[in-house]
Chain A
Amino acid sequence: MSERKGFFTDTSVCIGCKACEVACKEWNQVPADPQGLTGNSYDNSGELGANRWRHVAFIEQKVSVGVEEAPPESFAREAARQSLVSDGLDPHEDADGFRWLMSSDVCKHCTEAGCLDACPTGALFRTEFGTVVVQPDICNGCGYCVVSCPFGVIDQREGDGRVWKCTMCYDRLKDDMEPACAQACPTDSIQFGDLDELRERAARRVERLHERGREEARLYGDSEDDGVGGFGAFFLLLDEPETYRLPPDPVVPTRRTPEVWAAALGAAAVLAGGVAASFLRGRR
């Protein structure tokens, strides 16, 4: 067993170039998915799925940057803007306060992986790098992993029937190469390495951002005390997780499995007992 590998995605330096999406698709030969305009900022690829193993989210936020109180450049322009606003159109002005949030999402390669625990064929397995990978020659497309992932990452591929997700470029890792997305990332927003080392680096990074007054910076998925025992691919975020389509407190379904089985066995006993009891009445 090698050192556990991971991703640290520092969204504070993501520029939304989507090089990771492209590199992932190219290297892993992930099929194209329907193209079109969503109207959701620059995000036209939607979310992670069978045909998208990296996904860049774009969030446009009106956030005060402290210059709102400055007088408008020209009162004529301000009047024109106000009339547009009254028509329901709200053009952006530099002084409005605006920020982009961009983040490259990926499979979290959970320590306690719901998909892996659910898989009834053994197609999903834990690699020597601590990552979670689907074996396409085993998967029979039962779809149980799809509802077992608290992040909605893994999905069934239409026309293929099997499920697919990020492998953290298992083939590249075996050859001592970093995953395609991390290699393509021009700002090192996606960092690949030994998970322990990445966690230390992330802690230093968030500390630095706090020192610079970016109090909103927080790590997501770096702690082993969370509901999935820590992520193999964790994030530095600048807002609440749900803003990025990430669950605020994900819990692997397996944590509830003892309760689930206890209830199912209890109900089975009641069923058997109830059937037997229905004969008592008829006996008289």
Chain B
Amino acid sequence: MNPKGGEASMVPRERPTTYYGRPIVKRPVWKPEIPLYFFFGGLAGASANLATAATFAGRPRLARRAWAGAFVGVTVSPVLLIRDLGRPKRFLYMLRVIKITSPMSLGAWILAANGGATTLAAGLNLLAPRRRAGLPEIGAALVGAPLATYTAALITNSAIPAWSEARLEMPFVFASSAAASAAGAALLTVPGEETEPARALGIAAVVVEEAASRIMLKRLGPLASAYEEDEAGKADKVARALSAAGAVALVAGGKRGSDGSRGARRARGRRAAKHPAAPGGDPARRAITAAGGALLLAGAVCKRWAVFKAGFASAADPDQTIDLQRDRMAAERRPGA
């Protein structure tokens, strides 16, 4: 509630009255396509970054897989967005204006730009697998990162208390969730030697996402209940379990531990004995890694669903709107606050 921390109001007051318990702000009219778009847009944006980095790092096979993920993301995204519109035939009206005050307006332009660059880059990489990174790749990566995070800005730039008050943390939750998606998609296809950076990215993304989510909920104070209860709460628990399981699978499927752990040494030894020159480790580890990738993708979908439903819960509760504003008024009146 209090943006500085999770404490309740310092000023005691009676429970505010509501008008027959009716919500003050309207609930979103968005359909399930929207949280799915948050997922696919994140996948597209982070995958474009992964692909471009892989191209620069001289890992063409990882780059190809990541471009495939990015292409799927930018192809599915507009379909989802158009399906959600009340007047789908008017989707191009999104590009009538450009408005900095509207994350949806800028986002439409970001998606359009990323869609063009990614399609071009993915096509060129398919035609010339050893291609060096050029303008399309760099463009797709540069626009891809905001594509993954502007969707957080879209929902936090609203009048819904549990979304709006999470404005500083939500983009980091979305960014890490998008990174996990990109890594998961790259690892879902046959993992090989070249995919090691994706494994590292996937594990790190899950850790960062969990940390960012915890900070977000702590700073939300009483508003956090929108994320912790009912459908949003259940989806969030499932999301965290899937992502954590995915990260564990990626660690287990790793071909070597950076710390030279026993498991890593054993893995190295076994692989060296069985497939002296085979990239990608043994089939069991490949399967575990692919499963880990799938878990990360499923976790990212659930995470977006949880955030989406939390907005509905927050909008439906007039006390969230009233308490937030009353506490802010009290804090502003308090001298020296």
Contact = CB atoms under 8 A, between A and B. Distances in A.
Interface of A: 38, 40, 43, 46-47, 49, 57, 59, 114, 117-123, 138-144, 146-156, 160-163, 240, 242-251, 253-254, 256-257, 259-261, 263-272, 274-276, 278-279, 281-283
B22 A47 contact: yes
A275 B97 CA distance: 33
B311 A147 contact: yes
Contacts, number: 256
A248 B324 CA distance: 10
A267 B197 CA distance: 20
Contacts of B26: 49, 146-147, 149, 152-155
13 contacts: A46-B22, A118-B104, A119-B99, A142-B84, A156-B29, A247-B322, A253-B157, A253-B158, A268-B148, A270-B172, A274-B179, A275-B46, A282-B197
Given A47-B22, A246-B24, A256-B167, A144 B102 contact: yes
B99 A120 contact: yes
B326 A141 contact: no
The 7 closest A-B pairs by CB, nearest first: A141-B86, A161-B86, A245-B19, A267-B171, A140-B90, A268-B145, A120-B105
B158 A271 contact: no
Interface in B95-128: 96-97, 99-105, 108
B252 interface: no
A249 B328 contact: yes
Q: Is the interface of B mostly helix, strand, loop or mixed?
A: helix
Contacts of A123: 93
Contacts of B22: 46-47, 245
Nearest to A243: B17
Contacts of A265: 146, 149
Max count, chain A CB within 10 A of own CB: residue among B93, B100, B157, B164: B157
Contacts of A121: 90, 93-94, 96-97
Contacts of A49: 26
Contact of A264 (B56, B94, B96, B152): B152
Given A143-B28, A261-B153, A282-B57, A274 B97 contact: no
A117 B101 contact: yes
B179 A275 contact: yes
B315 interface: yes
Contact of A250 (B57, B97, B104, B325): B325
B334 interface: no
Interface string B162-176: 011001111110111
A38 B87 CA distance: 32
Contact of A120 (B23, B102, B182, B197): B102
Contacts of B204: 274, 278
Contacts of A120: 94, 97, 99, 102, 104-105, 108
A163 to B, nearest CB: 8
B329 A264 contact: no
B320 to A, nearest CB: 11
